[in-house]
Amino acid sequence: MSDEQVPAPSEEEQRAAWEEQLRRLTPADLIVQCAVSLVNLGGRRLGLDPDAAGERDLEQARDAIDGVRALLPVLERREGAQTIAPLREALSALQLEYAKLAGPGGPPPQGTGGGGAEPPAEQPPGQTGPGPAQRSGRLWVPGS
């Protein structure tokens, strides 16, 4: 190894390298990267990452889930089902965890990103047990 330092690329060389990257990049590549980033950020905001203690913010998690859901139809036009399957599985896991945390009996929202999910509505007098949505067995999906 030599102690010689390699000179920094010129502005023209940097621009040429950037142009070459743009030539190879497709919108689908960027959408996949964005969706994966949203899944990872959503997981952090749900508190799934032990290193992200204190970052729980259900409102931000919901935004991340809605963002991934919005990107999936575009990816489905371009990518095969096998390519999208892991992303769909990760999204499902986020949705289930969100439903657990935002539902009745879940922990209170934490974090500093503007709050969290709205508190569950109180039951009308005389009603006990789960409400009609919970009795139906259908999973509530954020943004729908």
Other Cβ atoms closer than 10 A to 38: 23
Residue 132 CA, distance from chain mean position:
28
* pLDDT for the residue 144: 52
Percentage of the chain modeled with pLDDT above 70? 70
Mean pLDDT of 82-102: 93
**Least trusted range by pLDDT, from 44-48, 54-58, 135-139:** 135-139
- The one-character DSSP state at 141 is -
Mean pLDDT of 76-99: 90
* pLDDT for the residue 116: 43
Burial class (CB in 10 A: 0-12, 13-18, 19+), 35: buried
Task: Give the pLDDT band (50/70/90) at residue 93.
Answer: very high
Question: Average pLDDT of the chain?
Answer: 79
Of residues 7 and 53, the one with the higher pLDDT is 7
User: Is 90 exceeded by the pLDDT of residue 63?
Assistant: yes
8 Å CB contact between 116 and 106: no
Of residues 127 and 34, the one with the higher pLDDT is 34
CA atoms of 14 and 8, how far apart (whole Å)? 9
User: Is 50 exceeded by the pLDDT of residue 79?
Assistant: yes
Mean pLDDT of 39-55: 91
3-state helix, strand, coil in the chain (%, to 5): 60, 0, 40
Question: For residue 67, which amino acid is it?
Answer: G
